[in-house]
Amino acid sequence: MRVDIVSIFPAFFDVLDVSLIGKARDRGLLDIRVHDLRAWTHDRHRTVDDTPYGGGAGMVMKPEPWGEALDEILTPDALLIVPSPAGERFAQPLARALADEAHLVFACGRYEGIDQRVVDHFAATHRVRSISLGDYVLNGGEVAAMAMVEAVSRLVPGVVGNPESLVEESHESGLLEYPSYTKPATWRGHEVPPVLLSGNHGEIARWRREQSVARTRMHRPDLLD
């Protein structure tokens, strides 16, 4: 999968060199390219923002650098993703859909967002999705893009070593994941639930399922509706 990320803070993405994603890049499973939006400015100050038409607080990202950057980066089949608190909500089903794409391009806005004409313009030739990480406001799209890149990358075949570990996770079944334990069997007086030491796989599966339902009822009753 190819992923291009455009931002005025490319350093946000330096950590994509480490851990599973770093390894997947080294192995050629992920081709991630990070670009500085200011490379497509032409003035001495490398200006990327201006005051909003109609007034109001904050600054809006100018369309020209975005237009030139995306003209250069978008391939015909690319999906353009604009992280925004005003977008559709990101969740595991969307992560799975994005993992099937060949080329994702993230346009990370700052300030009050990107001039709307950028989305309108590229929507005429490309698929464009505005996606929100959740109902809160970040300083820009970088952290949201990072979360989406991680959630999507680990679903790309080969990125996670043991694909079975993807199956039982929170949100894959529509429920939250059951609690996990490892050795020692007693720690600071806390015992591992005895069923997990029983060797009875049917009982263990039933117990885990009950725990998943109980956790979901407690923390996310909306998922049970």
Cβ contacts of 52 within 8 Å, gap of 6 or more: 58, 59, 60, 112
If binding means CB under 6 A, how many residues of this protein chain bind ligand ADE? 12
Q: Is 196 annotated as a binding residue?
A: no
Q: Shortest distance, CB of residue 36 to ligand ADE, whole angstroms?
A: 19
What's the rounded Cα separation, in Å, for the pair 210 and 175? Answer: 11
Among 84, 153, 212, 216, binds ligand ADE (CB under 6 A): 84
Helix then strand then coil, % of the chain, to nearest 5: 40, 20, 40
Binding to ligand ADE by CB under 6 A, coded x per residue (else -) over 132-151, reads: xxx-xxx-xx--x-------
Q: Shortest distance, CB of residue 149 to ligand ADE, whole angstroms?
A: 13
Q: Shortest distance, CB of residue 202 to ligand ADE, whole angstroms?
A: 42
Nearest to 48 by CA among 34, 58, 60, 56: 60
> Is the distance from CB of 126 to CB of 168 less than 8 angstroms?
no
Q: Contact between 8 and ligand ADE (CB under 6 A)?
A: no
Amino acid at 45: H
> Is the distance from CB of 148 to CB of 105 less than 8 angstroms?
no
Q: What is the DSSP letter of 174?
A: S
Structure tokens at 2: 């190819």
Q: Is 74 annotated as a binding residue?
A: no
Q: Shortest distance, CB of residue 209 to ligand ADE, whole angstroms?
A: 32
> Is the distance from CB of 54 to CB of 40 less than 8 angstroms?
no
Taking CB under 6 A as the binding criterion, the range among 66-74, 83-91, 115-123, 163-171 that sits at the site for ligand ADE is 83-91
Q: Shortest distance, CB of residue 220 to ligand ADE, whole angstroms?
A: 19
Give contact residues for ligand ADE (rule: CB under 6 A). Answer: 83-85, 132-134, 136-138, 140-141, 144
Tell me the binding residues for S-adenosyl-L-methionine: 109, 133-138
